[in-house]
Amino acid sequence: MKWQAHWERVYATTPIDRVGWYTPHLTTSLTFIQNIGVPRTAHIIDVGGGASTLVDDLLRLGYTSVSVLDLSARALELARERLGPLAQEVTWIEGDITSVELPAGHYDLWHDRAVFHFLTEPEDRERYLANLRRGLKPGGFLIMATFAPEAPPKCSGLPVRRYTLEQLQETLGPEFELVEHTHELHITPGGVEQLYLYASFQRRESRA
């Protein structure tokens, strides 16, 4: 899988609380999820969730159908170890979001913090979006966080594609209607400032 070796190396050589995207809790993501108001039984997928604590907080809040997808087997292993017995309540998917096969029309909420902006090639973005359209129910919600134009041009040694809100909306297309957006200044454990664009969208219901 593309990029897999890179991320396995990152998780094998860097403590979780020292990776550039680390934060103890994804506060903005959690706020957006609660603002959207999906039921606790909603099917939620955290794309590129890795060893993030979002799954911990979702379980703590009572969400009962959470999936975590990541390229890195090591990242998923770390998350399972941290959760202990609670890991059995989560669906773990090791795979590349540009090629993995997801169940059609299954997810009520798709969350992506800092995966989409690594897709610098148009064909990779198209494959991602095809999977998004396949997996997310009509009427479902998308939460996406990418680097804003003011953020560095690279993250974890890889180039990223930075977005304004208008550019992100144009990339997603008219099928996705903006619900809410904000900017979040993330300070890495090494002290680097990274400005994120956070936006939530609702997928329009298909028309007969």
Residue 105: phi, psi to the nearest 5? 55, 35
Average confidence (pLDDT) over 88-96: 96
- Burial class of residue 96, CB neighbours in 10 A (0-12, 13-18, 19+): middle
Range of the domain at 23: 4-203
Strands, E, within 128-174: which ranges?
136-147, 154-155, 158-159
Amino acid making up residue 164: T
What DSSP string runs through 52-99?
-SHHHHHHHTT--EEEEEES-HHHHHHHHHHHGGGGGGEEEEES-TTT
pLDDT of residue 9: 75
At 188-206, the pLDDT tens digits run 878 889 999 999 999 998 6
In a domain, 135, yes or no: yes
In a domain, 133, yes or no: yes
In a domain, 74, yes or no: yes
In a domain, 145, yes or no: yes
Query: How many domains is the chain built from?
Result: 1
At 132-181, the pLDDT tens digits run 999 999 999 999 999 999 999 998 888 999 999 999 999 999 999 999 99
In a domain, 208, yes or no: no
- Please report, for the domain that includes residue 35, its CATH number: 3.40.50.150
